A = this chain, B = another copy of it.
Amino acid sequence: MIEQRYTSAQLAELLDAELLGPPDLELSNLAAIDEGGPGSITFIRSEEYARRWKDSACSAALVSRSLKHNTDHDPSQRALLIVDSADSAFITLLHRIRPEMHSNDGVHPTAVVDPTAHLKPDTRVGPGAVIGPETTFGTGCTVGAGVVIGARCTIGNDTTLRPKCVIEDRCTIGDRCTLQPGVLIGGDGFGFVPSPDGNGLQKVPHAGSVEIGNDVEIGSGSTIDRGKLSPTRIGDGTKIDNQVQIAHNCVIGKACLICAQTGIGGSTTIGDGVTIGGLVGVADNISIGAGSSIGAGSGVMHNVPAGEKWLGYPASPSSRALRQWAFMRKVGLDQLPKAPGDHEKQG
């Protein structure tokens, strides 16, 4: 997949790596350690990977310096390239091989751009995209085919909106963000109160907006609702996976990781650096402290203190949850002792 072939020595120079092995190996593609063959470069990021190196058919590996001495290696046949971080060096190579996603230059003639929108000369707007009045862009933005942006939105520099995203009126996206296909930003929050006449429900208008910081990624099909008065906020550097739901007035901190299909209830606050697994539900009006982590599939109904790991449905500190799971494992295996009188009481 690398268009240009490298020798092992050329790669070592490119990556500023220490080379252990022949300088003239021909390297032509990237591969996982158990999938590649002759000509493949792989990476060794953990002791587990280091152990697998001797059985790999790859010709060369990027190795994190800390694993240099854990990797059993014969330098007469294959090459190790010792780098600070195998992950980062591999990412450098991935950027070289990954084809840019297709995009037209300039504004496609079928796009509908309001005359009062402020595009930069380098803004790329795909076929059929719609940009509303007074919406402004920083430099270096790409708006994919079929994206709809409402009125008075602000899009920062170097931000990419993949096809079919929707950003409703008055929302803000920061710099260097990527919204994957079909992200839906700025729908009304889900708020209803009983009608004064006692007959059905009355909609609570949502006058707030959504404010997304810098370096945020949002996955395909995720939804973020606008706030009632103050905005729903996503902090800098936070990464959100596919089909995540962020309700109105949530405040999500910086550098959080939120995995697929998780939902955060309205007005909940999530601190910086929080990690949340997939398919987690977080109740409304609670707070998840900075640096905490929530296991996949959990249902969080109470505030989580900073730095704690929680797990389970209902979620509790993971030491408790693991004790619960161990107990239930015994129940499943029928290893719990019968308590006296059990037999009589069940009759």
A interface residue numbers (CB < 8 A to B): 1, 30-32, 35, 84-85, 87-88, 91, 94-95, 97-99, 101-102, 108, 110, 112, 126-128, 130, 132-133, 144-146, 148, 150-152, 162-164, 166, 168-170, 178, 180-182, 184, 186-188, 190, 192-196, 200-207, 215, 217, 219-221, 223, 225, 228-230, 237, 239, 241-243, 245, 247, 255, 257, 259-261, 263, 265, 278-279, 281, 283, 296-297, 299, 301, 313-314, 316-317, 320-321, 323-325, 327-342, 345-346
Cβ contact of A128, chosen from B102, B128, B223, cutoff 8 A: B128
User: Which residues from B are CB-within-8-Å of A204?
Assistant: 87, 91, 94
What is the chain B residue whose CB lies nearest that of A164? B166
Q: Is the CB of A127 within 8 A of B98?
A: no
Interface pair B91/A190, CB less than 8 Å apart: no
**A317 partner residues in chain B, CB cutoff 8 A:** 332
Q: Would B148 and A144 count as touching, CB distance under 8 A?
A: yes
CB distance from A218 to the nearest CB of B (A): 10
CB-defined contacts of A132 to chain B, threshold 8 Å:
102
* B190 and A241 contacting across the interface, CB-CB below 8 Å: yes
Q: Choose one: B243, B313, B328, B334; the contact of A297 (CB below 8 Å).
A: B313
Q: A84-B196, A296-B283 are known contacts. Are A1 and B207 too (CB-CB below 8 A)?
A: yes
Closest to A224 in B: B220
Cβ of A99: which chain B residues have Cβ within 8 Å of it? Answer: 169-170, 207
B91 close to A201 (CB less than 8 A):
no
Docked pose: A297 CA to B281 CA in angstroms? 7
22 pairs, A vs B, C-beta closer than 8 Å: A30-B207, A31-B229, A87-B204, A88-B202, A94-B204, A102-B133, A102-B152, A145-B148, A164-B166, A180-B184, A192-B257, A200-B215, A201-B237, A203-B217, A242-B247, A243-B245, A263-B279, A297-B313, A316-B329, A320-B329, A320-B332, A327-B331
Chain A interface main SS type: loop
Number of copies: 3
A201 near B102: Cβ-Cβ < 8 Å: no
A288 shortest CB reach to chain B, Å: 16
- Separation of A217 and B327 alpha carbons in the complex (Å): 41
> In the complex, which residues of chain B have a beta carbon less than 8 angstroms from the beta carbon of A345?
335, 337
**Whole-angstrom distance between the alpha carbons of A317 and B196 in the complex?**
31
